[in-house]
Amino acid sequence: MHQHSKLARIAAIGAGFVLPAIAAKLARSSAGQVYRVATKSDPPRNPASRDVKWSEALTWTIAAGIVGAVARLATRRSLPYIGLPAEGLDMEEEVDDLD
């Protein structure tokens, strides 16, 4: 395998890991803005803190978790359409091909 080809594959594998995480972070950030508008307060920085009401902790945790998970899933499912390996079996096959 050529060095250029190997580097391109490594970059593609890295993108397959990084892009879903970035998408989830951006989605949670957007969810925080929606939370601020809806509740007129910031989302809890630490939902596990005793200073945060259970209702606020649960609302934020569920909303941020769902939004982040959906963004990560949508990104992972779209990666193969742009020629990048998705996490999981596709990623393992790409790594095996580097040997």
pLDDT band at residue 92 using 50, 70 and 90 as cut-offs: low
Distance CA 87, CA 95 (A): 11
Distance CA 58, CA 49 (A): 12
Q: What are phi and psi of 39, to 5 degrees?
A: -105, -10
83: left (phi over 0), alpha (psi -120 to 50) or beta: left
Whether this prediction's pTM lies above 0.85 is answered by no
Predicted confidence at residue 74, as pLDDT, reads 92
Three-state DSSP class for residue 64: helix
Indicate the domain borders of the chain: 3-98
